[in-house]
Chain A
């Protein structure tokens, strides 16, 4: 396993160049991507040009810690000159004319782009099966899904065809695929990472974050991604912090909250056993546990499937076949053009969510749905505030099951939505959450452990995860054949 930390050391010592590294990863992508479909766009010439620039920068003595380390980007991030499809036919020919803030941050750090990774269409899904470009396969078992929506990023990191990747998380889209692919992923506090140039799904919930093999790598990547950006009106004006600063702090005295609602009847079998073993590991590291309660968390899926579609129906109204994106070839008038372009350009799941959102915001239904969901959102956030009076971090499973089979839940939207039952409340409250590997089920599929922190507790969470990874090797396991 090559961490970006170890790659950065090799680059600093002059033992390898960025061009050699990128060539190596591009060769691995060429060998494995036909099987995995983790990347939707690879542009070797562009990647190598960026690698040459990184090597020149290092030769000139201008390198930062991660200069020359390649990274893959979820295809939701606009990157100038790169095809940016968001997993949709709607944007099949959209070559972005500008960079997302996250992309410009990685460019400023001198990190070459390895390619754009596959995802559920407009990030709506939990399996990467709603992508117009076909599903991504889980490297641990190619008959299974990698989770979603950042499934391409998760599969690429798990298969070691990218050392790290970006993802976005609206209801679990970083954490759930990280869990199902056996990697580490972090969704920061809402507002820490700019949403500028990140194609919008549900604006009050969307947040970008890092996906990598270790918590330490996530900390280094978050150092690059985080920061105030005036172009995102919800970007937080905070002082820059070093997310890696407390990685080596001992966990003595750490208070871990265990929400009783996460350890109920829904949590069974190997996932329950692995999470329990992780709790014992933390006890050995000096942490204490306390039972906490999130009484309204059971309502989070219902509230989410009002709020997220409502915001999506508004955000996706911009895809009208006029300024960018798909336009139907054959139309009679303007309304006909809108209706056919959107019917042909969007896939079934996106259309379902736009229709739900349109309905809950329509005349006469606003109070019963949208307003009620916003009130539940307050109750859910209050539950967390209450819990953090008793503990420093909350721990539980990331997902109710390990990776499921391709097609298993594709025809049942509600069944698919329940994949995010443990992750959604975190987005509604705007809290940081992460997933890290904590074991395998009897079929050899990875199990994810979720850590949820209070607002701006990323440093503490990364410390907790890193200390766990120092005494366990789940995160080092690599799927066979990769």
Chain B
């Protein structure tokens, strides 16, 4: 398998990472090199093998539906790029 420039641009958009034309060419070569390494996997017959999602097949613990954290909005918003009146500011998305 080999990624085309269009593939690289599509992946970059899905990942929300802007790439320039020159960068796309560079990524194309590097990503194809990495996929050549990954391709070894395809030779292995894994029919009947249960996928292992997690070390030790952990199950997710549940907790009671009660408030456990104090409200620290100001502390958490102190590291935000842009806030006003306790709200995070982003460009307008609805006209």
Contacts and interface: CB of A to CB of B under 8 A. Distances in A.
A414 interface: yes
A234 B58 contact: yes
Contact of A302 (B15, B31, B40): B40
B53 A306 contact: no
A82 B17 CA distance: 28
Nearest to B60: A233
A116 to B, nearest CB: 16
B49 A378 contact: yes
B84 interface: no
Given A234-B54, A352-B30, A322 B81 contact: yes
Contacts of A378: 49-52
Interface stretch (A253-261, A337-345, A397-405, A469-477): A337-345
A201 interface: no
B56 A362 contact: no
Given A352-B27, A368-B42, A95 B34 contact: no
A334 B91 contact: yes
Interface in B19-64: 19, 27, 30-31, 33-42, 44, 46, 49-56, 58, 60-61, 63
A394 B79 CA distance: 45
User: Which are the 5 A-B pairs with shortest beta-carbon distances?
Assistant: A430-B55, A374-B51, A327-B81, A190-B55, A375-B46
A323 interface: yes
Q: Secondary structure of the A side of the interface?
A: helix
B71 interface: no
A354 B12 CA distance: 9
7 contacts: A98-B75, A317-B16, A323-B88, A327-B82, A340-B18, A342-B16, A346-B17
Nearest to B13: A339
B67 interface: no
B34 A97 contact: no
Given A371-B51, A372-B41, A323 B93 contact: no
Given A299-B40, A321-B81, A352 B34 contact: yes
A181 interface: no
A302 B41 contact: yes
Contacts of A455: 56
B35 to A, nearest CB: 8
Given A230-B63, A331-B91, A337-B91, 9 more contacts: A97-B76, A323-B79, A342-B18, A352-B30, A369-B38, A372-B46, A374-B52, A413-B34, A430-B54
B20 to A, nearest CB: 9
Chain A residues touching B, range: 35 or more
Nearest to A337: B91
Interface string A209-241: 000000000000000000000100110000000
A324 B40 contact: no
Interface of A: 93-95, 97-98, 190-191, 204-205, 230, 233-234, 296, 298-299, 301-303, 305-306, 313, 317, 320-327, 331-340, 342-343, 346, 351-352, 354-356, 358-359, 362, 368-369, 371-379, 381, 412-414, 417, 427-430, 455
A97 B91 contact: no
B38 A334 contact: no
Contacts of B88: 322-323
B66 interface: no
A214 B50 CA distance: 39
Interface string B68-94: 000010011011111000001011110
Given A233-B60, A327-B81, A372-B46, A355 B15 contact: yes
Contact of A97 (B44, B75, B81): B75
Nearest to B81: A327
Contact of B38 (A302, A320, A323, A331): A302
Contact of B34 (A94, A305, A339): A305
Contact of B46 (A325, A355, A362, A376): A376
Which among A94, A324, A379 has the greatest number of chain B C-beta atoms within 10 A?
A324
Contacts of A323: 76, 79-80, 88
A375 B15 contact: no
A376 B55 contact: no
B55 A358 contact: no
Contacts of A414: 33-34, 36-37
A332 B50 CA distance: 47
A16 B42 CA distance: 60
Contacts of B79: 93-95, 97, 323-324
A204 B40 CA distance: 22
A347 B10 CA distance: 19
